[in-house]
Amino acid sequence: MRAVHRLTLPRALHPGAWWLWALGMAVAASRTRNPVLLVLILAVTGFVVAARRSDAPWAHSYAAFLRLGLLVIGLRVVLQALLSTRSQGNTVLFTLPQVPLPDWAAGVKLGGEVTAEALLTALYDGGQLAVMLCCVGAANALASPRRLLKSLPGALYEMGVACVVALTFAPQLVTDGRRLRAARRLRGRTRASFRTTAMPVLEGALDRSVELAAAMDSRGYGRTAHVPRPQRRLTALCVLLGLLGILLGVYALLTDAMALAFALGALVVGVLLAVGALLVGRERVTRTQYRPDPWALPEWLVVAAGAVAAGVMVTAAARGVNGLLLAGPLVVPPVPLLPVVGVLIGLAPALAAPPVRRVVA
């Protein structure tokens, strides 16, 4: 009765479920350049973040990833305008002053005519990358990095510590930026420059790194049990082969560089080898786990929502559904129904995930 009561009360969802859902949405965004579908994926992730984020400091990092996505789109468009050639389109919008280049840079243009086709292509490519970044930002805003570290297998504990510290860097920068702006407003300074805020933020990041290293060392992080050398070598070989198989399978699925059957086979073999290595290698790490996060029906529903969205988009791309890839930059893209339904299924975590505990002032 106590376990059921714990799962039904407001609680934080398992961080692994949020990351798997976000990766599924990112895979869905990687299969299309249709701006309507990309905006729909962005709206889905933003709605889920607004519905299920907590009051923790990292929960406010989604806006920073949105700004980063806008910066990526802007840089992509500017570079395309500077380096585009007339061969990318015939609809000239304006002409920039052209910089003459030496003979060894033949074929490269800096300035000159800028076409609408080149700018729209850059806009669509930058939008795809920006939406994928926002999917990662949604995982950062919804999943607790410390709880994610606690849920990692023992074989990946040292690697997980490094990854979690890296993942907490961006949310902590957002928190430090807000703290500095609030302190400046309290002192009557309304305008802030980059030079006055960059150094305090970097200093705070270094101080937290030193404190984290001291705390981890005092708690015995990195201590391992004695394992025979052949077992260690076998585990390392299985991990290496498993990661290579996963990378090869994911690359083939995302780029269509290989047959679908070969890509799925490499992915399945890589996952099996990696799981086997994790099961064998966890004997090397001696650590206990206090009150592990439950994995119940809400976690399965959240993961299934991301998997369905990714699976529908991958299947639609493999079958060549009209509307995923644009026929031309100036062509109005059709909106395919099946991918739209698959992306909308990604909204399920807004209802399936349990509500979070919020602090009432």
What share of the chain has pLDDT > 90, as a percent? 18
Model pLDDT, residue 44:
94
Higher pLDDT, 93 or 67: 67
* Mean pLDDT computed over every residue of the chain: 77
Q: Among residues 91, 11, 116, 17, which one has the least CA distance to residue 54?
A: 11
Backbone angles phi, psi at 281, to 5 degrees: -80, -10
Model pLDDT, residue 107:
65
Higher pLDDT, 351 or 187: 351
Q: Among residues 345, 326, 354, which one has the least CA distance to residue 35?
A: 326
Is 254:314 a contact under the CB 8 Å cutoff?
no
Q: How far apart are CA 253 and CA 318, in angstroms?
A: 9
Higher pLDDT, 18 or 10: 18
Residue 3 has pLDDT above 50, yes or no: no
Model pLDDT, residue 102:
73
Span 201-244, pLDDT tens digits: 777 776 776 776 677 667 666 566 666 777 777 777 887 888 88
Is 188:164 a contact under the CB 8 Å cutoff?
no
Measure Cα distances from 298 to 25, 179, 303, 352 in Å: 18, 34, 9, 6
Written as six digits, the tokens of 329 are 């930059």
Higher pLDDT, 55 or 190: 55
Q: Among residues 127, 4, 33, which one has the least CA distance to residue 74?
A: 127
Beta bridge partners of 94: 114
Backbone angles phi, psi at 199, to 5 degrees: -65, -45
Span 277-320, pLDDT tens digits: 777 666 666 556 666 677 888 889 999 999 999 999 988 888 88
Is 146:171 a contact under the CB 8 Å cutoff?
no
Largest Cα span, the chain: 78
Residue 170 has pLDDT above 70, yes or no: no
Q: How far apart are CA 35 and CA 335, in angstroms?
A: 10
Half-sphere exposure of 116 (CA within 13 A, CB side): 8
Higher pLDDT, 219 or 5: 219
What share of the chain has pLDDT > 70, as a percent? 71
Beta strands in the chain (DSSP E): 92-96, 112-115
pLDDT band at 46 (very low <50, low <70, confident <90, very high): very high
Q: How far apart are CA 48 and CA 347, in angstroms?
A: 6
Residue 79 has pLDDT above 90, yes or no: no
Q: How far apart are CA 276 and CA 279, in angstroms?
A: 5
Model pLDDT, residue 1:
40
Give the DSSP per-residue string, 94-137.
Answer: EEEPPPP--GGGTT---SEEEEHHHHHHHHHHHHHHHHHHHHHH
Q: How far apart are CA 320 and CA 192, in angstroms?
A: 50
Written as six digits, the tokens of 302 are 């959240």
